[in-house]
Amino acid sequence: MAKYIFVTGGVTSSLGKGIFAASLAKLLQARGFRVTIQKFDPYINVDPGTLNPYEHGECYVTEDGAETDLDLGHYERFLNVPTSQANNVTTGRVYQHVINKEREGAYLGKTVQVIPHITDEIKRRMLLLGQTGNFDIVITEIGGTVGDIEAQPYVETVRQIVWEQGHENAMVCHLTLLPYLKAAKELKTKPTQHSVKELQMYGLQPDILVCRTEMPLTQDIRRKLALFCNVNIEAVIQASDVDTIYDVPLEMQNEKLDVTVLNKLQLPTNNVCQLDTWKTFVDHLKNPTETVTIGLVGKYIELQDAYKSIYESFIHAGVSNRCKVIVKNIHSESLTKENAAEELQGLDGVLVAPGFGSRGIEGKIEAIRYVRENGIPFFGICLGMQMAVIEWARNVLGWADAHSVEMDEHTTHPVIDMMAEQKKITAKGGTMRLGAYRCAIEKGTLAEKIYGKAEVSERHRHRYEFNNAYFNDFENSGLKASGKNPESNLVEIVEIPTHPFFIGVQFHPELKSTVESPQPIFVAFIKAALEKKKATHLIASATA
Ligand code: GLN
Whether 129 and 87 have beta carbons less than 8 Å apart is answered as yes
Q: What is the mean pLDDT of residues 310-330?
A: 97
The distance in angstroms from the start CA to the end CA of the chain is 70
**39 touches ligand 1 (CB under 6 Å):** no
Q: What is the pLDDT of residues 470-514, one digit of tens each?
A: 999 999 999 999 999 999 999 999 999 999 999 999 999 999 999
Minimal CA–CA distance to 382: which of 356, 344, 409, 361?
356
Tell me the residue ranges of DSSP E strands in 414-474.
414-418, 433-441, 455-462, 464-466
Mutate which of 300, 462, 506, 508 for ligand 1? The one with the most ligand atoms within 8 Å of its CB, which is: 462
**What is the structure's pLDDT at 12?**
86
| 383 C-alpha to ligand 1 centroid (Å) | 5
> Binning pLDDT at 50, 70 and 90, where does residue 444 land?
very high
**406 touches ligand 1 (CB under 6 Å):** yes
Write the CB contacts of 452 (distance below 8 Å, at least 6 apart in sequence). Answer: 520
**188 touches ligand 1 (CB under 6 Å):** no
**461 touches ligand 1 (CB under 6 Å):** yes
Among the residue ranges 94-98, 247-251, 315-319, 354-358, the one predicted with the least confidence is 354-358
Helix 17-30 and helix 71-79: axis angle, to 10°? 20
Q: What is the pLDDT of residues 93-146, one digit of tens each?
A: 999 999 999 999 999 889 999 999 999 999 999 999 999 999 999 999 999 999
State the chain's mean pLDDT as an integer. Answer: 94
Amino acid at 147: G
Whether omega before 116 lies within 30 degrees of 0, making that bond cis, reads yes
Express the helix, strand and coil content of the chain in percent, nearest 5 each. 45, 20, 35
| 406 C-alpha to ligand 1 centroid (Å) | 9
| 52 C-alpha to ligand 1 centroid (Å) | 13
Catalytic (active site) residue 442: no
Catalytic (active site) residue 508: yes
pTM for this entry = 0.95
pLDDT at residue 52 greater than cutoff 90: no
Q: What is the pLDDT of residues 190-233, one digit of tens each?
A: 999 999 999 999 999 999 999 999 999 999 999 999 999 999 99
**354 touches ligand 1 (CB under 6 Å):** yes
Query: Which residue's alpha carbon is nearest to atom 8 within ligand 1?
Result: 354
pLDDT at residue 395 greater than cutoff 90: yes
Query: What's the CA gap between 296 and 299, in Å, rounded?
Result: 10
Whether 482 and 403 have beta carbons less than 8 Å apart is answered as no
The secondary structure of 286-345 as a DSSP string is HS-SEEEEEEEEES-TTSGGGGHHHHHHHHHHHHHTTEEEEEEEEEGGG--TTTHHHHHT
| 430 C-alpha to ligand 1 centroid (Å) | 14
**512 touches ligand 1 (CB under 6 Å):** no
187, HSE (Cβ side, Cα atoms, 13 Å): 22
Q: What is the mean pLDDT of residues 277-282?
A: 97
- Report the 10 Å Cβ neighbour count for 447: 26
